[in-house]
Amino acid sequence: MQDTPRQGLGPRLPPVDKWTLLLCSFILAAAWGQMNFTGDQVLRILAKDEKQLSLLRDLEVLKPQKVDFWRGPARPSLPVDLRVPFSELGDIKAYLESHGLAYSIMIKNVQVLLDEEREAMAKARRLERSTSSFSYSSYHTLEEIYSWIDNFVTEHSDVVSKIHIGNSFENRSILVLKFSTGGSQRPAIWIDTGIHSREWITHATGIWTAKKIVSEYGKDGILTNILKAMDIFIELVTNPDGFAFTHSMNRLWRKNKSSRPGAFCIGVDLNRNWKSGFGGNGSNSNPCSETYRGPSPQSEPEVAAIVDFITGHGNFKALISIHSYSQMLMYPYGHSMEPISNQKELYSLARDAVKALYKVHGIKYIFGSISTTLYVASGVTVDWAYDNGIKYAFTFELRDTGRYGFLLPATQIIPTAQETWVAMRTIMEHTLNHPY
């Protein structure tokens, strides 16, 4: 009797060992010109007390540019997520174990998620080209987003316009979408996404939100009332240089791309570069740090452009700055533990927004001031907004809580955007109904 043929499988291949896979990944990455994260792991550490948190903070000094905190050491009740390069895994795990720091592996191989993400983007791009459409459930490059903006503004010119508010360090356009039903200098709401370039879910959520506004105007009573009295401004790519770099070279890049004579490392954390509390705790003076604040407040063109635009406008009533990840909704202050004057109002509003968000897909958010909910962070967007008279200043940390971290699968874009929308609408409605 003949063997039954193994249709379509061809000859049986020998098992591939992990070193061969590593080599193949490096070759592929080199071909794409991208940084490779094969074998890198994200570890989750639960610190028992301040002493253990201090040991974790020491890692940034002991291993400069070798460890990447996805969720930094904040307080014992919050987990710390740490990406460790493959070459450093042995040393870091030994350090944790020797100090009694318990850890678990959240992501076993970062490159696997990156490969899946890239494959999903390529598949979506092929589908978009064949159907001449834009997929709101996919991630996109800077060029694709800017092209979408132009088409979007053309299609909805009765409600949307594009404003150029400045240029980035590498001279890319900084664009803002304005949603308005007429009038000038009306009370306004500001929304920004992507100030940290690796937080791709934020850009995607912003794009979906823009589409939601034009499709729901005239149908959704709350939104319609808001747009009859107020304008909404959305900055989709707040850090265009960094975002372009996450696609071309380093998917996990956080800062902008500015460089200065004599500085070995490039980039400033744009969410530490604002004037309020500049240079305080939770920011860093070392240019190689992920939280490097820059040489002076508003030294970065990406921050200065927003400051000039918002202050020049003079009538913004709410500001919402969108980040990922951790599932949190927070308000000022970041630089101080002191409660703000309308703390009770913002606490109540955050609670209502989080309740509305939960009803959409059952996702739980925690809420409170930045310094008491997350950690002390100085020079942040919402502190500046609040100190400059914008009473309703909030920051979101979107999905998830660490299973994927910054590499949230595109299948979660629309659910994330849907739930974030109702929370934002809650804040916008309150702003409309409580003029000041």
Catalytic residues: 397
Q: How far apart are CA 360 and CA 94, in angstroms?
A: 43
Residue 66 CA: distances (Å) to CA of 57, 59, 60, 93: 13, 9, 8, 13
Mark 293-311 as b/e (b = at least 16 C-beta within 10 Å). bbeebbebbbbbbbbebbe
Transcribe 218-241 into DSSP letters.
Answer: TTSHHHHHHHHH-EEEEES-S-HH
Supply 17's token pair: 């060992």
Burial class (CB in 10 A: 0-12, 13-18, 19+), 59: buried
Q: How far apart are CA 127 and CA 135, in angstroms?
A: 9
Transcribe 335-383 into DSSP letters.
Answer: S-SSPPTTHHHHHHHHHHHHHHHHHHH----EEEEHHHHT---SS-HHH
Read off the amino acid at residue 67. Answer: V
For tokens 């948190």, what's the residue? 53
Closest CA to 146 of 171, 122, 116, 177: 177
- Length of the chain equals 436
Pair 238, 193: CB distance under 8 Å: yes
Transcribe 86-115 into DSSP letters.
Answer: GGGHHHHHHHHHHTT--EEEEES-HHHHHH
Residue 156 CA: distances (Å) to CA of 151, 163, 173, 292, 382: 9, 15, 21, 40, 30
Q: How far apart are CA 345 and CA 331, in angstroms?
A: 11
Q: In the 8-state DSSP scheme, what is residue 426?
A: H
